[in-house]
Structure 1
């Protein structure tokens, strides 16, 4: 069973208290998110950063807490369970981990110090013809004297419209092997030659198309080694999938708590609807699935902490798969149990469902996660 230290337990309670105080009412959340149109409130995120939480996994030498994956998952789980509108934290932590591993000393210092203070980051991989087949990139960076010139389009880029910088993966060499010749580049916000256009979605303002037109960056913008971008991406998969899993665990828990409160109070046929066997059994099944998810997520987080250089493709993919599928099931069932009220924007159920459904697509679709897991068994 999952067990936390006294410090970790106190940390979780502090986050829960913060979320209740700062975003505990619908009115507070609407004020922070333009009535729900934004998934991320930078104002609230900076407040969390001032408490030291944005830099939870940033090494102490850069001003962070230097904590591990377990603490990171506690932060993400509690923030999502607390309904804090800080959707940009996931891409930020994913991107920060890449800078920590591969950036040179000066860039690492600049970027990670900003993360500690509340800067949001973005990572750009997908293209119109490169989604699940992420190595099939065509956005190109060509070498010129003193730097690089970037041309092409990226898509589905979270955080780009408010990020301090974007970590771009572009093709620097065309070879017979599509996984070769990829390179990471640091693109600060406002770089000439970069145009950002939002994509309208069910979830609000979250993702963007990026258009690079003769966008010039210096040699110092290269993050890691030229041509080694694919290996660098693979090195971050544990972190990425744990982040997504922990966030959706929190969403599932929030949905469960809201649904339980509703079916306890809502009466039909002269009694609370939660007392009907159909409801009791459904909630029992959902509670069991959420508990299984919690155990898996924190087991993988602890394994990653105990073996920081070890790739965990099977375990990390399982955590992402289980958490997002559980969250999707929980939020869809919540709408059914709440009836028309679950569909009304007066309640959070419909918003939670929209976010849970897309979680099975981003960060590697769940079909891809299943494929990865199957391959680890030699299939």
Structure 2
């Protein structure tokens, strides 16, 4: 498949770019941070997102969504990355929608997916338990009790967990940490007795939460997918999420590159534009090459996810690792080429650096995905 967008996908990109650039520039994030906004994003803007059909991109048409795929979700995520827009799109419309679409029963889909598509329901995936992404090392226990289960443990870095109306929780119902088998996913109402949610604002001014589950009782109807066999569903959902985060990193890197090149064409030093210095030209050219290679890797991964998400792991690992290292290089070069002003809070480049660092870690950094790729290829 050609590594280019179709006409319809290009129109979606233009539509998303027009809305996001107009309604959520970097100053929008700065304002939310400085005002210590309790929600961390604009609910009014999220309602507009839903009206334009963005919230239901991955929701099947029969449940009120657009029935599109990872390529389209990646297009929106790339535009979000360009302005650092804080939004529940990743948590709700990508991770949660993917989990429900791929693993939900008909009843679960009918109950939750139309609400996600309309923007009425905010949901998120609770999987990580420590500072690093290690999904198979889940220790949170799910013990059979009555006609359901009792959940005990804690989750960290749950994106938008402080505002979620629905938690999709990964727990270990069998086996020991590190095993692929024995994982089960549960749909949990955060208002259930025994659930304690603590908001944790991250360094990039986006939001996450630490959630503690103290003998939380859920019945069998709240199991998402199969008991003890949730590993395959987790793999698919995480890969879809990784493709989306890689897209955000790509948009972030491209935006920083554009801002940096503009600065090189305007800043004068020693009587000439600094963009005339050959050393800076070489560095800018190398960064452009890195971004374009990453663009191809990300689009290839998104296309692979749409073709068969169960077999796209290798392409996704390459894309997430590549996008993370490229974005890191872009923000480092951006800060350095802007000089001392690049380190100040008054200048936007610092926001991009912080967001790149968070996205690099979220759902696995470059080292994690290099290890994943090696294992997939039996090294």
TM-score of the superposed pair, with normalisation by structure 2: 0.92
Q: 1:146 to 1:258 in 2, by over 3 A?
A: same
| 1:369 and 2:369 aligned | yes
Q: Which moved more, 1:35-44 or 1:145-154?
A: 35-44
**Residue 350 (str. 1) matches residue 350 (str. 2):** yes
* Count of aligned pairs: 375
Residue in structure 2 matched with residue 335 of structure 1 by the alignment? 335
Q: Answer yes or no: is 1:319 the counterpart of 2:312.
A: no
What is aligned with 1:253?
Answer: 254
For 2:300 and 2:90, locate their aligned partners in 1 and report how far apart those are by CA, in whole Å. 20
> How large is the RMSD of aligned CA atoms in angstroms?
2.2
Question: Is this contact kept in 1: 2:84–2:355, CA < 8 A?
Answer: no
Q: What is the deviation of 1:6?
A: 2.0
**Structure 1 position 178, deviation (Å):** 3.1
The separation in 2 between residues aligned to 1:167 and 1:44, in whole angstroms, is 24
Structure 1 CA distance for aligned equivalents of residues 95 and 266 of structure 2: 40
Distance apart, 1:173 and its partner CA: 2.6
Give CA-to-partner distance per residue, 1:306-353, whole Å, 9 cap, x none: x22541221110000111110111011100111121111222110110
- Could you say if the C-alpha distance between residues 20 and 360 of structure 1 is closer, same or farther in structure 2, counting changes exceeding 3 Å? closer
Which residue is 1:282 aligned to? 283
- In structure 2, the gaps of 5 or more residues are none
Residue of structure 2 in register with 1:53 after alignment: 54
Name 2:159's counterpart in structure 1: 158
Partner of 1:272: 273
Q: Deviations over 1:250-276 (max 9, x none)?
A: 111111122122222222222222222
Greater mean deviation of Cα atoms: 76-85 or 14-23? 76-85
Deviations along 1:19-55, whole A, 9 cap, x unmatched? 22212362x4434555587764333222111110111
Comparing 17-26 and 365-374, the one that deviates more: 17-26
Q: Is the 8 A contact 2:41 2:86 kept in 1?
A: yes
Q: Which residue of 1 aligns with 2:222?
A: 221
Cα separation, partners in 2 of 1:24 and 1:135, compared to 1, 3 Å? closer
Q: Is the 8 A contact 1:32 1:43 kept in 2?
A: no
TM-score by length of 1: 0.92
Counterpart Cα distance in 2 of 1:366 and 1:166: 27
Per-residue deviation at 1:193?
0.9
Q: Determine the C-alpha separation between the residues in 2 that align with 1:350 and 1:13.
A: 26
